[in-house]
Structure 1
Amino acid sequence: MNIQVIIAIIDMLLWLIIAVNVMYVLFFALASHLPKKTHLPSTISHQPSFLVLIPAYHEDAVIINTVKSFLQQDYPKDLYQLCVISDQMDATTNEQLAAHPITLLYPFFENSSKAKALQYAITSIRHQPSAIYDYVVILDADNIVATDFLSLLSQIARPDIAIQCHRTAKNANNDIAILDGLSEEINNSIFRRGHNRIGLSSALIGSGMCFDYNWFKANVTKLNTAVEDRELEALLMKQRIHIYYAEDIHVLDEKVCNSENFQRQRLRWMTGQLQALFRMLPYIPKAITTGNLNYIDKAIQQALIPRSIFLVLIPILCIITTITSYILHLASSLFPFKWWLVLLLFIGALFTAIPAKQRNINLVNMFIILPSLTWRMLKNILKINPRNKDFIHTIHNQ
């Protein structure tokens, strides 16, 4: 077997892996533009009650503003309870929180995680005589919602579904924050809106989530990693509970503003993605035999290569294969052509997934800072530990 054959085999295998990833992204990016299905009706004849949980680990910089903002809801005060799980926050912050009409919990964990905070809250609250709720809502400590947030949720909430609201950027103070917000909107198009448009479940995103209270109470104890949203997703898919993407109910989320936080956040996501994949694999055979398409789809999502890596990797491979083709006198073959094709399809997929209002000059700035951030992400691969359950906290600015 000569060197040209070996190179051709390696090239084709690598291209197939990347092409499958690109086609998945392209398919759902296009699907996100399909007509929206009819409005989801509520099956509850009364106004539902909500337990709103905000896990707050060292969130002194943002939690007070979040609580004050949320308490402006136009929903009946006796139909929702705001609960803040104050994990290792300053005494001054806790004193300010205690002055508001909320439930304030003070857990202490040797190793903190969002899952532990949620478990602690449910365990503490369910023993209260008045702890009877229809739904649980989970927000992050930096999330801001409109005054009609609960009113809108109450119109579509149903016991047989979970809801993922439209999380979007509340800040765009520098290029990194803009890139982070843009990445989230691309994810919204591909993994949430695009999936719902063809009848599949949306992906969860960690906050702006709504679950049936009894379901959540029964399942929150099963969480034991630092990526609780992916665990909840897998549990919902196993039980064939649909995740509805409420794209018109917005949750403003603070985007990271420096490269260190960007790297820390992506390391958490990449670690969680790998953990979720390993946890989901054993159930795949049963999902296949029972036709559980949503579970299979969510497992595939965990196996996808991060798109930001592709934005650097595919152009490099295009150049390498073009040069190699010339050196080995393969210019007449499709050796480099297929790489340039997959690059065009990938760029087209991302552009299709970007909301129209964000297709502006900022995209040029994104390409300027992307190489350095991608290099940091590539270094993150060396830090991934599939067995690590430590919570990687994203620091918020004052």
Structure 2
Amino acid sequence: MTGLIYILAYILIGFLMLAGLYQLTLAIASRFKAKCICEFDGEARRLLVLVPSYREDAVIINSTKINMSLKYQYPSARFDYVVISDGLQPDTNKGLTQLGAEVLEVNFEKSTKVKALQAAMRKYDGNYDGVVILDADNTVDTNFLYKASHYLSCGHKAIQGLRKAANTQTNIALMDGLSEAANTAMLCAGANRLGLSSKLSGSVMVFDYQLFKSLVFCLEAVGGFDKELELAITERNIFIKYAHDLVAYDEKVSDNRSFARQRGRWLQAQYSFLFQSIYPGVKSLMAGNRDHFHKAIQLALPPRVLSPFILAIGLMSSIIAGSTELTILSSIGLLATAGAYLMVLPLPSLVKSVWTIIRTMPSLVISTCKALTLMKASKRTFLHTPHGLTKAHV
């Protein structure tokens, strides 16, 4: 029995160590300067902006008000701003129309983001060059659509923008923002520097219209459709570009319950697609498509909150048990993981937030464990995490 425990410990700690070294590699790569994209031709491409909104009455009016100011920066005849209204109140729909947005009302027995996007692509089957996908709470930065048009002009067919935190009022929101900033640096910027596709984040995304149209009707995800989409894109040998200057502000979850529900949805999608994509990923690698293979194995990454926690416990346990090998593996994994985050997160923010991080970590570990128990439920039903900001970042 003791031998079996040691074998399982070696497998777990070894896996977490490799994950830590992988993240450290991406963190180091992210420090290198990105290649300049082509010179902008100045053309305002025709864009379809899609904003799926499931019962987001609390935020959609304000975000739309801010985003519709795009018409003062980008020719209004060159973009359509469409809110896909799923469960919004009639007064909200009326207010959106008055702001100049187009409202597409949908009603599904079981609502998902994929179904909403499919409904929009069926209706708006027009002469567009690109599709922009935003969340209901997203507010975009200056000249967002011109920058999107610029990246499309350079031949990029799939682009992930930068999602900056719109709120840090609670400890959970602060930690969620730091987590996304680290993941963006490693899995978006770092991957691109190594010649690999960026991850997709579910919003602040830009696609070539014909590419997205050809893919969206093949998607079936209940949650985490971005994982399914990035696998489909890289399987076609299409590169996903990370655009650090394509900025939108995104509301972070602000309480433990929302954190658990959101992570449960993400983890279910991640590990579900992992098992589905391993064999196709290996086939792609043998055919010379390393990008698709990389996307498949990237889905094996452990939950970011639990990884250092387990490694720390593993280190203490291996020291007590007198296992030199496990002590070394745990130490390497812990140092690599910590080093990766220290390398990509701004030091002033870390120093300023150090006590908040220490105080909040135990509750985040508990919430992540709860998220694991919610994975089964999220496979059947979309676990909605409502947004609560009434005033978005301007």
Q: TM-score range by the shorter chain?
A: over 0.9
Provide the secondary structure at the position in 1 that maps to 2:318: helix
1:365 correspondence with 2:364: no
Q: Measured at CA, do residues 136 and 318 of structure 1 come closer, stay the same or move farther in structure 2, by a change above 3 Å? A: same
1:324 offset after TM fit, Å?
Answer: 1.3
Q: Which residue of 1 aligns with 2:305?
A: 308
C-alpha distance in structure 1 between counterparts of 2:359 and 2:264, whole Å = 21
1:77 correspondence with 2:72: no
1:161 offset after TM fit, Å?
Answer: 2.3
1:25 offset after TM fit, Å?
Answer: 0.8
Contact 1:225-1:389 within 8 A present in 2 as well = no
Q: Which residue of 1 aligns with 2:94?
A: 95
Q: Which residue of 2 aligns with 1:282?
A: 279
1:272 offset after TM fit, Å?
Answer: 1.0
C-alpha distance in structure 1 between counterparts of 2:179 and 2:32, whole Å = 21
1:364 offset after TM fit, Å?
Answer: 2.6
TM-score by length of 2: 0.93
Contact 2:48-2:81 within 8 A present in 1 as well = yes
Contact 2:156-2:241 within 8 A present in 1 as well = no
1:152 correspondence with 2:126: no
Which residue type is aligned with residue 29 of structure 2? A
1:388 correspondence with 2:379: yes
Contact 2:167-2:251 within 8 A present in 1 as well = yes
Contact 2:197-2:291 within 8 A present in 1 as well = yes
1:290 offset after TM fit, Å?
Answer: 0.8
C-alpha distance in structure 1 between counterparts of 2:141 and 2:87, whole Å = 28
Q: Measured at CA, do residues 387 and 166 of structure 1 come closer, stay the same or move farther in structure 2, by a change above 3 Å? A: closer
Q: Which residue of 2 aligns with 1:56?
A: 53
Which segment drifts farther, 187-196 or 279-288?
Answer: 279-288
Contact 2:17-2:329 within 8 A present in 1 as well = no
Contact 1:72-1:147 within 8 A present in 2 as well = no
- 1:231-246 aligned within 5 A: 231-246=228-243
Taking only the aligned residue pairs, the percentage that are identical comes to 35
C-alpha distance in structure 2 between counterparts of 1:250 and 1:36, whole Å = 16
C-alpha distance in structure 2 between counterparts of 1:141 and 1:28, whole Å = 30
Q: Which residue of 1 aligns with 2:341?
A: 350
Query: What per-residue deviation string (whole Å, max 9, x for no partner) do you get for residues 35-73 of structure 1?
Result: 22122445x673211000000000000000111111111
Query: What per-residue deviation string (whole Å, max 9, x for no partner) do you get for residues 287-326 of structure 1?
Result: 121121111111111111111101211111111111111x
Which residue type is aligned with residue 233 of structure 1? E
Provide the secondary structure at the position in 2 that maps to 1:305: coil
1:355 offset after TM fit, Å?
Answer: 3.2
Q: Which residue of 2 aligns with 1:35?
A: 33
Q: Measured at CA, do residues 290 and 343 of structure 1 come closer, stay the same or move farther in structure 2, by a change above 3 Å? A: same
Q: Unmatched 5+ residue regions in structure 2?
A: none
Q: Considering only aligned residues, what root-mean-square deviation do their CA atoms show, in Å?
A: 1.9
TM-score by length of 1: 0.92
C-alpha distance in structure 1 between counterparts of 2:379 and 2:5, whole Å = 37
C-alpha distance in structure 1 between counterparts of 2:228 and 2:301, whole Å = 17
Q: Measured at CA, do residues 214 and 335 of structure 1 come closer, stay the same or move farther in structure 2, by a change above 3 Å? A: closer
Q: Which residue of 2 aligns with 1:317?
A: 314
Provide the secondary structure at the position in 2 that maps to 1:56: strand
C-alpha distance in structure 2 between counterparts of 1:10 and 1:64, whole Å = 52
Q: How many matched pairs? A: 385
1:335 offset after TM fit, Å?
Answer: 4.3
Q: Measured at CA, do residues 65 and 322 of structure 1 come closer, stay the same or move farther in structure 2, by a change above 3 Å? A: same
Contact 2:187-2:199 within 8 A present in 1 as well = yes
C-alpha distance in structure 1 between counterparts of 2:131 and 2:305, whole Å = 33
Provide the secondary structure at the position in 2 that maps to 1:168: strand
Q: Measured at CA, do residues 389 and 211 of structure 1 come closer, stay the same or move farther in structure 2, by a change above 3 Å? A: farther
Q: Which residue of 1 aligns with 2:366?
A: 375
Contact 2:265-2:374 within 8 A present in 1 as well = no
Q: Unmatched 5+ residue regions in structure 1?
A: none
Query: Where has structure 1 moved over 6 Å in runs of 4 or more?
Result: none
Q: Which residue of 2 aligns with 1:16?
A: 14
Query: What per-residue deviation string (whole Å, max 9, x for no partner) do you get for residues 158-201 of structure 1?
Result: 45521100111011111111001000000101100001112111
Q: Measured at CA, do residues 364 and 34 of structure 1 come closer, stay the same or move farther in structure 2, by a change above 3 Å? A: same
C-alpha distance in structure 2 between counterparts of 1:146 and 1:45, whole Å = 19
1:178 correspondence with 2:174: yes
Provide the secondary structure at the position in 2 that maps to 1:34: coil
Q: Which residue of 2 aligns with 1:113?
A: 112
Contact 2:261-2:374 within 8 A present in 1 as well = no
Which residue type is aligned with residue 118 of structure 2? Q
- Aligned to 1:189, which of 182, 185, 192? 185
- Aligned to 2:264, which of 267, 272, 277? 267
Which segment drifts farther, 204-213 or 277-286?
Answer: 277-286
C-alpha distance in structure 1 between counterparts of 2:152 and 2:102, whole Å = 23
Provide the secondary structure at the position in 1 that maps to 2:21: helix
Which of the two has higher C-alpha Rg? 1
Provide the secondary structure at the position in 2 that maps to 1:157: helix
C-alpha distance in structure 1 between counterparts of 2:364 and 2:52, whole Å = 28
1:342 offset after TM fit, Å?
Answer: 2.2
